[in-house]
Structure formats: C-alpha cells, structure tokens
Amino acid sequence: MVRLSTIALGLLYGLSNTLGVVADTTTFTDPVIDGAIAVGFPSVNITAILTEAENELGVNGTITNNLPDESYGTPGTTVTARDLEKLQELRKRTSLRGICGAVACLSLKILFPSKTATAGTSNYAAWNNPSFWSATTYMTPTCVFRPTSVEDISLAMRLITFTQTDFNVVGGGHSAIKGWANTEDGVLIILSGLKGVNINVRGWAEVSVGERWGDVFTALDERKLMALGGRMSTVGVPGLVLGGGISYLTNQLGFVADQVKNFEVVLANGWVVNANKDANQDLFQALKGGSSNFGIVSRIDLYTWPCPKGVYSGQLYFSDTKDYPKMFDLVYKYHTVGALSDTSSHLISAFVYVTLPGMSTGMHMGAFTAFRNISASETNPGPGSALQEIVDLNPTTKASSTLKVRPYGQTAIELGAGDVTGLRQDMRDFSVYADAQLYKDIFQIWNTTMIPKHGSKTGFMGTIAFQPITTNAVAAGVARGGNSLGLESNSGTMAIINLTHQWALAGDDASILLTLDDIVLRAIALAKARNLYHPYFYLNYAHKLNNPIGSYGTASVNRLKKASKLYDPCGVFQCRVPGGFKIPGMSSC
Ligand SMILES: Cc1cc2nc3c(=O)[nH]c(=O)nc-3n(C[C@H](O)[C@H](O)[C@H](O)COP(=O)(O)OP(=O)(O)OC[C@H]3O[C@@H](n4cnc5c(N)ncnc54)[C@H](O)[C@@H]3O)c2cc1C
Ligand SMILES: *[C@@H]1O[C@H](CO)[C@@H](O)[C@H](O)[C@H]1NC(C)=O
Ligand SMILES: *[C@@H]1O[C@H](CO)[C@@H](O)[C@H](O)[C@H]1NC(C)=O
Ligand SMILES: *[C@@H]1O[C@H](CO)[C@@H](O)[C@H](O)[C@H]1NC(C)=O
Ligand SMILES: *[C@@H]1O[C@H](CO)[C@@H](O)[C@H](O)[C@H]1NC(C)=O
Ligand SMILES: *[C@@H]1O[C@H](CO)[C@@H](O)[C@H](O)[C@H]1NC(C)=O
C-alpha cells in the first residue's frame, strides 16, 4: 500500500492527508485555503474498499470480459494493476475509461449501497433519466450516486479523484446540452437528495443544492421574504446560480450569483470549504459565473429581503401579430428607460410560435411576464409607470392576463406549471446592445427561417426572448464584490437574446439544429454590421460551441485560471469532468 499512499499524497498537495491509508478524523488547515476542513470518516478504510472493489473486478487478477478484447490483449491475460500508476498505464494503452469508472462505482456501492445504482437496477432507472429536463441529454453513466449529505459528496470525491474516473454532477438538470451535466462512462453524481431551505432570521436562506426554485420560494413566502432566483419553479438551484442567474429582481440587485452570501464547496480532494467575502474570496468570485470548474457546491446561502405586501405579477399574452412592431418598440423602451426608472420591475418578453391543441396550424404569440415588487407605501398596486404601456397595449391582452397581487414565489410557480420534461430541447443565446430595429429584424430572421421550415414539426414550439441587462444590474454585482461575468465595462443596456426550441422526434434534431446555427450566425452578423453586437454569451443558455467563459474577457479568465490552480491543482474538474463549459486556455488533459 506504500505506493497507493504516495500517490494519494501527491493528489492531496503533498499534505499529510490519508486517502489510501486510513480515513482521517482530523481537521486540517492549509496555508493557502481558508478554513479548510477534512471531514472525517472514522469507520472508512478507503484502501480496503478500493482493494475490495479491484478484487471484485479482477483488476489484480484475471481480466475477463470487463474489458474489450482488442484494447487489452488476449482475453484472460493476467495483469497487475494494483495501483494507480498501473491504472493510468492501462488507461493510456487502452483508452478505456470504463475501468476507472468501474472501480469507483464498486467502491461507492460498497460504501453507499443504498445511494449507488448501476445500470439495470430500478434505482438507476428512477434516478438517471428523470434527473434531466431535455431528452437530448440522456446518457448511460457506469453508475449514479445520489448523496444525501455534504459528507457523502466529500467521500465520493476522494474516491473519484483517487481512481481518476470521469464524473459529472447534475443539479436541476435544466441544461439542454448533452454531457454538460452527465457522463457516458464513470460516475454521475445526482444532487436531488440534498434537500433543505434553512432560513436565517439575520437575512439569508441556506439552500441545499438538490432544491428547485419553487420549493425555495415557497419556504420564503411562508416568512414573507424574497430572494433572487430562477423565474420558473422547476429549474434547479445550483446550475443557475453558478452560471450567473437572472431573476425577477435582477434590474435592482444584479445576477442571482451577486446575491450569494456564501458557497459551501467540496473540492476535488474531498475537502469541504466555504467561499464568501471573507474566506476563500477568490473562489467566491470564481463561482459567480465559473460554473462547474472548481468543485461541487453543496449549499448556497442567498440574501433575503422582506416582501410584506407581495408582488404584482403575471403573464400577458399578445395574439394579434399586427401589434408586433409596437411590442418591440415598447420592449426596447422598457429595456432602456423603464427597467432603470423602476428597478423593482421586471419583464420577460418572449415571442413564441406554437401549435395549440385543436389547431391545425401554429400561431405567433407574445408571451410576456411582468413583475413588480410592491413598495411599502403603495395602496393600489399596479404595473407602475415602467410597465403600464405594455399592459395597456392590446385589449385582448387584459382579458387573458394573469396579473395580480400575490406572494413573490407564486410568479415562478405559475410559470413553472407549463414546464415539461422529457421533450427534445435546445437553448442558445447571444448578446446585443439594446436597439428596437435590431430586435425587429432579428425576430424576422427567425420568423422567416425557422417557422416555414419547422413550424409544423411534431411537438414544435419555438421561442425567441429578449432580456435586458442594465448598467444598474451590473453595478449591483460590483457593489457585492464582483462576479466573473466581465460586464463592468458595459456602456448601456445590453440584451441577451435567447432562443429556446422544443420538439418531439429525435429524427428532427439535425435539421432543426442546423437551422438554428444559421439563424444565430445571421443575427450576429447583422448586429455586428450595425455596431450593436456584444461579445457576451450568457452561460446558462449558451450553445456548447460558444465558449461563454472565454466571453468574460481576459482579466476574468486569468482570475478563473488562478483560482482553478489553487483549489483544484490536479485539474480534476478540468480533466475528469467530460462536459460543461471549461476555462479556456487551461493546460490540456
Ligand atoms: C425552463 C427553463 C427556465 C429557465 N429560467 C431561467 C431563469 O429564469 N433565469 C436564468 O438565469 N436561467 C434560467 N434558465 C437556465 C438555467 O439557468 C440553466 O438551465 C441552468 O443550467 C439550470 O440549473 P440546473 O441546476 O437545473 O442545471 P444542471 O443541468 O443540473 O447543471 C448545469 C451545469 O451546472 C453544473 N452543476 C450543477 N450543480 C452543480 C453543483 N452543485 N456544483 C458544481 N456544478 C454544478 C452541471 O454539471 C452542469 O454543467 C432556465 C432554463 C430552463 C430550461
Ligand atoms: C486498511 O485496509 C488495508 C488493506 O486492507 C489494511 O492493510 C490496513 O491495515 C487497514 N487499516 C486499518 C487501520 O484498518
Ligand atoms: C488480488 O489481491 C488480493 C489481495 O491483495 C488477493 O487476496 C487476491 O487473491 C488477488 N486476486 C487474484 C485473482 O490474484
Ligand atoms: C420589496 O418591497 C418591500 C416593501 O414592500 C421592501 O421591504 C423590500 O426590501 C423590497 N425588496 C427588495 C429586493 O428591494
Ligand atoms: C412572419 O413572416 C411572414 C412571412 O414569412 C409574415 O407574413 C408574417 O407577418 C411574419 N410574422 C410576424 C409576427 O411578423
Ligand atoms: C429565455 O427564453 C425563455 C422563454 O423560452 C424565458 O423564459 C427566459 O426567461 C429567457 N431567458 C433569457 C435570459 O432571456
């Protein structure tokens, strides 16, 4: 076991940690990481577990049909792969990732029999695919691991890092990119068992990462509180926050990540650390936009605000397409005037094409969500000056609007009720500076390309939405110590334009995605030609080729690289997590 221990020590930055020897019960401190805690596992002998797993697999003995023949000599060849070096050699020679995943999965199964599931079992079926929003993201990891505590994650991370297995982590599963929160070989860590919203009366809520926004808001509503979060109840907490996060309160308080008080994070070596304005500040800033590059976030503490009078909010539907030019003018006016004059307001302006049940052809529809926090002195709450014109635009709108006074969280719950899982989905985005004519023209690129080609495909629904990021929202982030998004130099309101499409048949994937590529290329070219292009790609809607972290700019990328080297010196999150948006320019794996 000497070699095992030596390698383990290397993984643990040369500190006298004990992975591969015996579980530690000690608390360690690290000269560069604030308040690091090594969670103890007194009853766990990791060496023994790895040995048991390897024996069961026959890694030190006769390799049977666990390995494909051609990649590993003749079947039945005896190998000695007792230790990590051998495992790595094996890996290089065979490009066989599965072997590491198998060792990690068996070890997890020995340690956590009720929380680990391998293919073919009922827990695997119950936990794996149902964790994902879009059917395009289904995969078959070697095993799924469903922790219920931060200690579980910590121990699993040690095993995963030690065995150098591929892994990934899924929160609410609302990323639409295949492999971003999943892995084909190796371990999928499913966070849905980490539940709890713990409200601290001193002004924050401690939210476990298995939560979805609906339950977070319901818990806050019970106390007449509000916090920044997703705008649909069904979306997961962790992915949204780590990518930035746009909330109903963003005009006033910035991105959701800007209003995080503390992240609790499990690092690659299993250490559990806190990141906040006083401790591990560089990790804190990195996590505000840096996505899955630094560790597994296990708890997020969000600042809360009182919400004594509720909010005025709801959805508005515009079905008369002759109003569209006027709608775009008012959206632009809201982006550049209303959102700044009434920062307590919010508007989602989505333009949808959908075939409703019973209709033979599809229809265009404006689906807007209007929102306002009600101020303490208000006696007769309404949309307020910033949103009034939009609400007044079309009389049919009023008849079909759901605008009313309600508790804060009810807005997200109303929107979330329409969210469906298991369809085929695509999301992508790009950014421009606010401009009414550009909005109209980009809409028409979409309308005249996407709709005639694909509007009648089975289960088709297409949406193009325009979301303002005001200079005030950016300043609110700076005031909280800064994030990683790199938007500080914005010279005016920018708009994130996002396209969300869903359809039913896998056979339609290729042609719809090709059309989307074409639309976005043309829209970006148009924005560039008018000097209205903004290079930012909002990570949470970005296409996998768009390199959102690269779009944060050199200064931010350099900070992120530095944080990665400090908190994940072996590059586990860069190299062993096959999907997700990476920090560009890190050494290749
Ligand atoms: C219907 C719908 C509505 C949406 N509404 C909004 C909105 O209002 N505002 C907004 O900003 N965005 C919104 N989004 C986008 C949303 O922010 C992203 O889809 C986000 O990825 C969702 O987070 P999740 O936890 O559900 O995602 P997941 O798919 O589980 O994770 C996304 C990424 O984060 C990583 N990750 C997840 N958990 C952790 C963790 N604990 N530690 C480290 N890495 C982790 C995953 O590995 C993956 O790479 C919406 C998306 C959809 C589909
Ligand atoms: C841990 O397991 C290894 C391998 O089985 C064994 O050699 C070692 O003595 C064990 N350590 C303890 C403290 O039990
Ligand atoms: C593998 O090693 C263990 C102990 O190191 C030993 O007990 C076992 O017999 C070995 N298996 C084979 C097939 O050689
Ligand atoms: C929302 O309005 C209430 C007053 O009704 C106020 O106390 C609270 O701070 C406001 N929320 C935010 C985020 O400003
Ligand atoms: C969409 O484009 C068609 C032409 O292809 C046009 O007739 C229609 O008016 C457009 N719809 C809207 C809402 O602008
Ligand atoms: C993206 O579009 C959807 C509608 O499909 C909307 O709910 C969401 O808020 C939009 N997000 C952004 C950032 O524009």
Task: Single out the residue of 300, 302, 304 nearest to residue 150, CA to CA.
Answer: 300
Residue 35 CA to residue 122 CA, distance in Å, equals 40
Residue 222: the pLDDT is 98
Q: Which residues, in sequence order, are CB contacts of 501 under 8 Å at separation 6+?
A: 425, 426, 450, 460, 461, 462, 463, 512, 516
Return the C-alpha torsion angle 337, 244, 180, 571, nearest 10: 140
| C-alpha 156 to ligand 2 mean position (Å) | 19
* Six token digits for residue 372: 């306002």
- 306 Cβ inside 6 Å of ligand 4: yes
The Cα 39–Cα 258 span in angstroms is 28
Q: CA 438, CA 432: separation in Å to the nearest integer?
A: 9
* Cα 45 to Cα 56: distance, rounded to the nearest angstrom: 17
Structure tokens at 321: 């397409």
Residue nearest to atom 2 of ligand 2 (CA): 48
Kindly list the structural domains of the chain, giving each domain's residue range(s) and its CATH number in brackets, ordered by start. 6-190 (3.30.43.10), 197-306+552-574 (3.30.465.10), 311-406+420-534 (3.40.462.20)
Closest ligand 1 atom, CA of 236?
A: 26
pLDDT of residue 261: 98
Please give the pLDDT value at position 57: 66
Output the ligand 1 site: residues, CB below 6 A. 133, 168-175, 180-181, 191, 209, 230-232, 235-236, 238-240, 242-243, 245-246, 291-292, 296-297, 419, 540-541, 580
pLDDT number for residue 233? 98
Ligand nearest 61 Cα, by number? 3
CA of 486 to the centre of ligand 5 (A): 37
Q: Count CA atoms closer than 13 A to 318's CA, side-chain side.
A: 23
CA of 147 to the centre of ligand 1 (A): 19
Of 21, 22, 24, 111, the one to substitute when testing ligand 2's pocket (max ligand atoms within 8 A of C-beta) is 22
- Environment class of residue 458 by beta-carbon count within 10 Å: exposed (0-12), middle (13-18) or buried (19+)? exposed
What is the atom index within ligand 5 of the atom nearest the CA of 351? 13
307/326 Cα distance (integer angstroms): 33
The pTM score is 0.89
> Whose CA is closest to 186, among 241, 302, 106?
106
197, two tokens: 């919203």
Averaged over successive runs of 10 residues, the pLDDT of the chain (589 residues) comes to 27 30 39 49 62 64 33 30 43 50 84 92 97 97 96 88 88 97 95 98 98 98 98 98 98 98 92 91 97 98 97 92 95 98 97 88 94 95 95 72 95 95 96 98 98 95 98 97 96 96 96 98 98 98 96 98 91 93 87
Strand-pairing partners, residue 498, are 429, 465
Find out whether the beta carbon of 307 lies less than 6 Å from any atom of ligand 4: yes
| 43 exposure class (CB count in 10 Å sphere: 0-12, 13-18, 19+) | exposed
Q: Determine the Cα–Cα distance for residues 492 and 247; give it in Å rounded to an integer.
A: 20
